[in-house]
């Protein structure tokens, strides 16, 4: 009986070590994805600001052209 118990304990320890390793890999992936999402949010804000600026510039240009034509 003690031999079976020792084997079972060893198997369980090995499984715990394996799961610990997999959790560390998953944590690294999650951290990487969180960083990527953060960068994408920043890029989205930058693009939105550029679009708003472009819209304002186009509106001003159209207004200028309209006033010149009339």
Which pair of structure tokens corresponds to residue 57?
Answer: 């510039």
Beta carbons within 10 angstroms of residue 54's beta carbon? 10
pLDDT digits (tens, 9 = 90+) for 35-58: 999 999 999 999 999 999 999 999
User: How high does pLDDT run on average in the chain?
Assistant: 94
pTM over 0.85, yes/no = no
């Amino acid at each position: 009986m003690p031999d079976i118990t020792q084997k079972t304990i060893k198997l369980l320890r090995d499984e715990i070590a394996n799961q610990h390793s997999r959790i560390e890999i998953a944590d690294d992936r999650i951290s990487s994805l969180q960083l990527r999402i953060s960068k994408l949010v920043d890029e989205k804000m930058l693009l939105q600001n550029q679009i708003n600026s472009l819209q304002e510039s186009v509106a001003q240009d159209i207004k200028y052209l309209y006033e010149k034509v009339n």
